[in-house]
């Protein structure tokens, strides 16, 4: 059974790519109608595919009718649906919290003469989960879509829904004298009560699956969050991502950091719950640019990432275009970018004294729009995505990097994804086999075994541009004589002489252990 996760498709002013919902019951006309959604669920179901929706429950759009009411006065039916506080005696914001997109997490509202809290942009006011009416309204929305036949939900920004009982200033952590709202509110004790309630009211007794976007929920918390005693089926962990949140300072990372993070996640989910494997999403630049040097062959790099993605123990989440080997864009002006976080980061960089060229280079490297360009179907206008005007231009490379061209080319990234997906379907050990890391100290190679009784595979990926040995010490594999290469991303298994003693630059192999 496969599934397609749609980022939010609800009515929205689209200030934040739909993560600002104005009506949870209606499909955004930009995408279609509620009837189109019914038809999608039905047609996907006939092909064994479930549709997963993105529930944005920490906040709504400021255009949602709940907020429009709430902001009118301190005593209306929705007055307590959001988080309102009086100003400090000097008129300033109730706390010094910095929102995740930059600037204060509080915005003044003239009509109420109060501030409201927004963990993200001012157009995304946080809901007050302490109010049982709010919670019920949110569960009703989820149940409406469950009744429509959706296969599950991705729960957006979920660790922020519970706020601390007392709001206090945090220790300033930047030149703006503010303190990151994340540190002040993430995973606040009591949050699990809300989420258990969600599980009981929405998930129990259904066949849906849930995955939480849970930045800040660590391995120690995992048993409370996933698995039979948890609240979700899986949660995304972000420790293995190498694109840093601080755009001004290039994150220094080593392959061993990535491997350790993945191995730790595999270890905890071997005990409780299940692991969602991913390297890309709509919030991150393209993985080929993040994990590989500029001069790496992009097809081999795309194949290397795909190999890890499709062979680790867990559910692989393939992000649109990842299977085609998409890379970042670099547009000449900030005006070409739509992502509100990119614009905010650009402006903050200028106000900190960086030049326009420097600020733009941060955007080129880290912008979320790198991963938000339209899907490239073919070499026609707008890559066959639309006859209208897309929200962002298509990537320049669309005439060669498109689904149609790659489907016809056995040497493409897409062809490799197909081969690996077929292999995965045919080899159950990739679904349920144990994971064991091999050659953990190598800064060139990520290698691991998947084992289920006598069914054993070795996966090895060279992240470096030079030839790299695979060190079998401690792997339980006696010698390379016991290893037979079944797939190589170079498409010429013969050249490995059947063994992966030395991987070629950026080579990925899948081998059987005899």
Give the residue with the Cβ less far from ligand NOJ, 159 or 325: 159
Q: How far is the CB of 60 from ligand NOJ (least distance, A)?
A: 10
Token representation of residue 181? 């709202």
Query: What phi, psi does 150 have (nearest 5°)?
Result: -70, 155
Q: How far is the CB of 309 from ligand NOJ (least distance, A)?
A: 19
Pick from 27, 53, 157, 510 the residue near ligand NOJ by CB under 6 A: 157
C-alpha distances (whole Å) from 98 to each of 94, 103, 172 are 12, 6, 9
Give the residue with the Cβ less far from ligand NOJ, 95 or 215: 215
Q: How many CB atoms lie within 10 A of CB 181?
A: 25
448-507: contacts with ligand NOJ (CB under 6 A): none
182-241: contacts with ligand NOJ (CB under 6 A): 213
Binding segment for ligand NOJ among 16-24, 67-75, 224-232, 263-271 (CB under 6 A)?
16-24
Give the residue with the Cβ less far from ligand NOJ, 17 or 237: 17
Pick from 22, 40, 52, 56 the residue near ligand NOJ by CB under 6 A: 56
Binding segment for ligand NOJ among 14-22, 106-114, 188-196, 307-315 (CB under 6 A)?
14-22
- Closest CA relative to residue 407, chosen from 377, 383, 380, 373: 377
Report the residue closest to ligand NOJ, judged by CB: 19
Q: How far is the CB of 391 from ligand NOJ (least distance, A)?
A: 14
Give the residue with the Cβ less far from ligand NOJ, 213 or 266: 213
Binding segment for ligand NOJ among 12-20, 65-73, 173-181, 379-387 (CB under 6 A)?
12-20
Active site residues: 156, 213
Pick from 9, 11, 12, 19 the residue near ligand NOJ by CB under 6 A: 19
Binding segment for ligand NOJ among 15-23, 184-192, 411-419, 465-473 (CB under 6 A)?
15-23
Q: How far is the CB of 216 from ligand NOJ (least distance, A)?
A: 12
Token representation of residue 107? 């915005």
Q: How far is the CB of 57 from ligand NOJ (least distance, A)?
A: 10
Q: Compute, in degrees rounded to 10, the torsion defined by CA atoms 55, 56, 60, 64.
A: -20
Beta-strand relationship, 152-156 and 49-56:
parallel
Q: How far is the CB of 19 from ligand NOJ (least distance, A)?
A: 3
Per CB under 6 A, 16 contacts ligand NOJ: yes
Residues β-bridged to residue 97: 179
Counted residue by residue, the chain has a size of: 514
Block residue for tokens 């988080």 = 83
Per CB under 6 A, 156 contacts ligand NOJ: yes
Per CB under 6 A, 161 contacts ligand NOJ: no
- Closest CA relative to residue 500, chosen from 460, 473, 465: 460
Pick from 24, 84, 115, 120 the residue near ligand NOJ by CB under 6 A: 120
Q: How far is the CB of 361 from ligand NOJ (least distance, A)?
A: 22
Please report, for the chain, how many H helices and E strands are present, in that order.
14, 21
Q: How far is the CB of 373 from ligand NOJ (least distance, A)?
A: 15
Residue 143 host element (H or E): helix 132-148
Q: Do residues 441 and 470 lie in contact, with contact meaning Cβ atoms separated by under 8 Å?
A: no
Q: How far is the CB of 120 from ligand NOJ (least distance, A)?
A: 4
Count, residues near ligand NOJ per rule CB under 6 A:
10
Q: How many CB atoms lie within 10 A of CB 428?
A: 11
Token representation of residue 498? 């059947």
Give the residue with the Cβ less far from ligand NOJ, 118 or 419: 118
Per CB under 6 A, 106 contacts ligand NOJ: no
Give the residue with the Cβ less far from ligand NOJ, 341 or 488: 341
Q: What angle do CA 426, 428, 433 make, to 5 degrees?
A: 150
Question: Can you tell me the distance from the alpha carbon of 152 to that of 211, in angstroms, rounded to the nearest whole number?
Answer: 8
C-alpha distances (whole Å) from 399 to each of 299, 364, 464 are 16, 22, 29
270-329: contacts with ligand NOJ (CB under 6 A): 282-283
What stretches of 248-350 adopt beta strand conformation (E)? Answer: 276-277, 315-316
Give the residue with the Cβ less far from ligand NOJ, 213 or 323: 213
Give the residue with the Cβ less far from ligand NOJ, 19 or 326: 19
Token representation of residue 292? 């590989």
Per CB under 6 A, 57 contacts ligand NOJ: no
Question: Can you tell me the distance from the alpha carbon of 492 to that of 122, in angstroms, rounded to the nearest whole number?
Answer: 54
- What string of H, E and C letters represents the secondary structure of 201-268? HHHCCCCCEEEEECCCCCHHHHHHHECCCCCECEEECCCCCCCCCCCCCCCCCCHHHHHHHHHHHHHH
Give the residue with the Cβ less far from ligand NOJ, 180 or 406: 180
Block residue for tokens 């990842």 = 322
Block residue for tokens 């996907």 = 44
Q: How far is the CB of 337 from ligand NOJ (least distance, A)?
A: 14
β-sheet with 455-462: strand ranges across: 434-438, 445-452, 455-462, 508-513, 483-488
Question: Can you tell me the distance from the alpha carbon of 487 to that of 154, in angstroms, rounded to the nearest whole number?
Answer: 33
Task: Write out the residues near ligand NOJ by the rule CB under 6 A.
Answer: 16-17, 19, 56, 120, 156-157, 213, 282-283
């Amino acid at each position: 059974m496969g599934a397609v996760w749609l980022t939010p498709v609800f009515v929205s002013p689209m200030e934040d790519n739909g993560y600002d919902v104005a009506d949870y019951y209606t499909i955004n006309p930009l995408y279609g109608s509620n009837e189109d959604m019914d038809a999608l669920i039905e047609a996907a179901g006939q092909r064994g595919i479930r549709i997963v929706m993105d529930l944005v429950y920490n906040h709504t759009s400021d255009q949602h009718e709940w907020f429009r009411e709430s902001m009118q006065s301190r005593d209306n039916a929705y007055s307590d649906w959001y988080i309102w506080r009086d100003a400090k005696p000097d008129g300033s914001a109730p706390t010094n919290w910095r929102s995740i997109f930059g600037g204060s997490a509080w915005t003044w509202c003239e009509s109420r003469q109060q501030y409201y809290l927004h963990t993200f942009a001012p157009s995304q006011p946080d809901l007050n989960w302490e109010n049982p009416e709010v919670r019920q309204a949110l569960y009703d929305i989820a149940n409406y879509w469950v009744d429509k036949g959706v296969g599950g939900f991705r729960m957006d920004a979920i660790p922020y829904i519970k706020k601390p009982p007392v709001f206090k200033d945090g220790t300033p952590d930047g030149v703006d004298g503010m303190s990151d709202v994340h540190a002040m509110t993430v995973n606040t004790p009591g949050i699990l009560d809300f989420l258990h309630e969600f599980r009981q009211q929405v998930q129990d007794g259904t066949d849906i699956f849930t995955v939480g976007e849970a930045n800040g929920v660590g391995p120690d918390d995992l048993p409370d969050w996933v698995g039979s005693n948890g609240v979700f089926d899986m949660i995304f962990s972000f420790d293995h991502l190498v694109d840093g949140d601080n755009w001004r300072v290039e994150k220094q990372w080593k392959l061993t950091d990535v491997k350790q993070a993945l191995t730790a996640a595999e270890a905890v989910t071997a005990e409780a719950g299940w692991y969602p494997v991913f390297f890309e999403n709509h919030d991150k630049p393209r993985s080929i640019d993040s994990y590989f040097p500029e001069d790496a062959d992009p097809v081999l790099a795309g194949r290397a990432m795909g190999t890890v993605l499709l062979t680790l123990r867990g559910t692989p989440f393939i992000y649109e275009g990842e299977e085609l080997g998409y890379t970042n864009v670099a547009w000449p002006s900030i005006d070409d970018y739509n992502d509100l976080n990119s614009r905010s980061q650009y402006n903050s960089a200028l106000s900190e004294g960086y030049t326009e060229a420097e600020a733009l280079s941060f955007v080129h490297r880290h912008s979320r729009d790198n991963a938000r360009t339209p899907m490239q179907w073919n070499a026609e206008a707008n890559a066959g995505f639309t006859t209208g005007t897309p929200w962002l231009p298509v990537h320049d490379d669309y005439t060669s990097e498109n689904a149609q061209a790659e489907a016809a080319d056995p040497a493409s990234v897409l062809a490799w994804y197909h081969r690996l997906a077929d292999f995965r379907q045919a080899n159950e050990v990739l679904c349920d086999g144990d994971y064991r890391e091999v050659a953990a100290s190598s800064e060139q190679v990520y290698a691991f075994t998947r084992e289920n009784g006598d069914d054993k595979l070795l996966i090895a990926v060279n992240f470096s541009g030079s030839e790299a040995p695979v060190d079998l010490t401690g792997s339980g594999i006696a010698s390379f004589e016991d290893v037979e290469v079944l797939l190589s991303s170079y498409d010429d298994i013969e050249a490995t002489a059947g063994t992966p003693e030395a991987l070629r630059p950026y080579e990925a192999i899948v081998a059987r252990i005899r």
